[in-house]
């Protein structure tokens, strides 16, 4: 674990609110992490006379481990707020001996994952350069972390407006954090084109054909993963795979919009 100056400098300088890991996340989440700035990292095993700086928070620590971390990452019901759900026996984290089940993930490298999704967090770990990855963690519960960063739970429901060419708009209410494809399909709104209506993977995140255009409220949706961005590379940034899109605020979504040529081969 690191402690004192180096970690304090990072936490003071890191713009958690604008971190790349939260790009495209609900706007509310990007405002809640700044309260952790300036908190130092203190090694749990540091001697009592180590002389921690004023403002040090012993719950916050850094550790470098192999990129194959051996950490099973958990989350809340919105698939956000990553934490250490379990340690793989014999994995890097268990062998390191400093990471505990239940610790909350704050950062990967120099990028915040406070309030990020599991997919965002694992993408950052996978894309880290070198043999090791630097993790910053918080030893405490999710509720404690959310209190520290001033997080207030968002609305319990969201409003989704669906635009379909030649048809009246459909407006409905759903639970915050809902899966966009599931909500559309449940209301018999077709998100597929041509033969993929019958050959799709039924929302198992395999076929990449349930494409929609989030024309308003994109920031209220979960962020695109690296794989999703690659699949949709020929399409505008507002295009999403509905089966892996969680909705945390009010949005407008258009279905059956034009797609890139690559999508017609799926």
| Domains in the chain: ranges and CATH | 5-148 (2.30.42.10), 157-265 (3.10.20.30)
Joined together, the tokens standing for residue 9 give: 């400098």
Q: Provide φ and ψ at 164, rounded to 5°.
A: -130, 130
Give which of 254, 177, 175, 223 is closest to 20, Cα–Cα.
Answer: 223
pTM assigned to the model: 0.50
pLDDT tens-digit map of 27-53: 444 344 434 433 433 333 333 333 333
DSSP assigned state of 155: -
- Bigger pLDDT: 214 vs 208: 214
| Phi then psi dihedrals of residue 188, to 5 deg | 60, 35
DSSP E strand boundaries for the chain: 40-41, 56-57, 60-66, 71-74, 83-87, 104-108, 111-112, 132-138, 157-163, 170-175, 178-179, 211-216, 239-241, 246-247, 251-254
Task: Inform me whether the pLDDT recorded for 167 exceeds 80.
Answer: yes
**Percent over 70 (pLDDT), the chain:** 71
Confidence tier at 18 by pLDDT (50, 70, 90): very low
Q: Stretch 104-117: mean pLDDT, rounded?
A: 90
Angle value at C-alpha 126, between 121 and 127, nearest 5 degrees: 100
The predicted structure's pLDDT at residue 21: 35
């Amino acid at each position: 674990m690191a402690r004192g100056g180096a970690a304090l400098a990072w936490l003071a300088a890191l713009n958690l609110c604008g971190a790349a890991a939260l790009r495209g996340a609900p706007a509310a989440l990007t405002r809640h992490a700044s309260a952790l700035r300036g908190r130092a990292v203190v090694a749990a095993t540091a001697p009592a006379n180590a002389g921690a700086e004023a403002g040090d928070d012993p719950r916050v620590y850094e550790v470098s481990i192999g990129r194959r971390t051996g950490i099973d990452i958990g989350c809340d019901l919105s698939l956000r707020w990553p934490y250490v759900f379990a340690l793989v026996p014999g994995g890097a984290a268990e062998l390191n001996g400093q990471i505990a089940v239940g610790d909350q993930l704050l950062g990967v490298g120099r990028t915040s994952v406070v309030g990020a999704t599991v997919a965002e967090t694992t993408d950052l770990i996978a894309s880290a350069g070198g043999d090791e990855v630097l993790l910053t963690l918080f030893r405490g519960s999710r509720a404690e972390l959310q209190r520290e960063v001033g997080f207030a739970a968002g609305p319990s429901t969201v409003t989704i407006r669906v635009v379909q060419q030649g048809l009246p708009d459909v407006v409905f209410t759903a639970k915050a954090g809902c899966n966009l494809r599931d909500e559309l399909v449940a209301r018999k709104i077709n998100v597929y084109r041509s033969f993929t209506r019958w050959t799709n993977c039924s929302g198992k995140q395999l076929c990449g054909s349930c494409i929609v255009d989030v024309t308003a409220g994109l920031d209220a949706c979960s962020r695109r993963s690296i794989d999703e961005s690659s699949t949709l590379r020929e399409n505008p940034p507002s295009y999403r795979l509905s089966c892996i899109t969680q909705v945390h605020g009010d949005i407008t979504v258009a279905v059956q919009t034009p797609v890139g040529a690559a999508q017609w081969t799926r």
